[in-house]
Amino acid sequence: MYRVVEIEEVVTETPTIKTFFFRDNSEPQPGQFYMIWLPGVDEFPMSISYIGEIKGFTVKRVGAGTARMHQLQKGDKLWIRGPYGRGFRISQKKALFVGGGSGMATLAPLIDMMPGDVVIAARTRDELLFRKRFAGRKVYLATDDGSEGFKGFAHELVEKLLHQEDYEIIYTCGPELMMRKIIDIAISKGIDVQASLERLMKCGIGICDSCSINGYRVCVDGPVFFKDELVKMKDLGKYKRDKAGRRVPL
């Protein structure tokens, strides 16, 4: 069930984010994820951030598992299974991509395949991910502290851009509160929206229910959800499930 892949290159993207490149025969769609197992440490879900012969995971250091991953180097091994879940659906509509923090990792392979403008948001300029990856298209930067680009939250910039351009669909991935605001804006303006959600995952294949939200299992029904599903998700931006499965405020 697991495949062992060798890390071929490690790129430091920001002070807290690294990309790990590897070869693997699987054929993921943008928005799909893998489970990465580091024996003796942890197993965790990770989106594919580069698709092709050489693939990539772009990993933010948050807890023990991702901290260990950040110590890995060229030649070290990863145990992976996947790709899992439902990815993004490519659309012919005029698109705006909105990625916050490490959420850009999930959106990036989709952006590589589709036209559209891009919003890259982060707390501060050092954490803006993939700012050079999307040459030849409009890329808007936003930082919470105003250290680069628009000063403020991503959804505030999105509201501004919607006055300037007739976007027909928004693709988003990032902090849950950011996505909640962007989904609400899209719904109120009658714009289509797809969002890649994060929930705590254990099995990654629909068995344990630890990733459930309002009747959906994020690992198999998502992680990408469409507008007609997102409107039903009353817990999004309000409640999550903790490691014991309890529904707790976000």
Q: What is the DSSP string of 159-195?
A: HHHHHHS---EEEEES-HHHHHHHHHHHHHHT-EEEE
How far apart CA 72 and CA 77 sit, in angstroms, is 8
Which residue has its beta carbon closest to ligand FES? 219
Residue 65 interacts with, from ligand FES, ligand FAD, none (CB under 5-8 Å by kind): ligand FAD
3-class SS of residue 210: coil
Closer by beta carbon to ligand FES, 67 or else 207? 207
Closer by beta carbon to ligand FES, 206 or else 237? 206
3-class SS of residue 154: helix
Per rule CB under 6 A, is residue 102 in the interface with ligand FAD? yes
Residue 217 interacts with, from ligand FAD, ligand FES, none (CB under 5-8 Å by kind): ligand FES
- 123: Cα within 13 Å, side-chain hemisphere: 5
Closer by beta carbon to ligand FAD, 18 or else 181? 18
Please, what is the minimum distance in Å from the beta carbon of residue 74 to ligand FES?
31
User: Does residue 224 contact residue 87 with C-beta atoms inside 8 Å?
Assistant: yes
How far apart CA 21 and CA 8 sit, in angstroms, is 6
Q: Per-residue x/- marks for ligand FES, 216-235, CB under 6 A? A: -x-x----------------
Residues 192-231 that bind ligand FAD (CB under 6 A): 198-201, 223
Residue 210 interacts with, from ligand FES, ligand FAD, none (CB under 5-8 Å by kind): ligand FES
Helix orientation angle between 154-164 and 176-189, rounded to the nearest 10 degrees: 20
Per rule CB under 6 A, is residue 66 in the interface with ligand FAD? yes
Query: Quick one: CA torsion of 176, 235, 213, 81, rounded to 10 degrees?
Result: 10
Which residues sit at the interface with ligand FES, rule CB under 6 A? 201-204, 206-211, 217, 219
Which residues sit at the interface with ligand FAD, rule CB under 6 A? 33, 42-47, 49, 58-60, 62-66, 102, 105-106, 198-201, 223
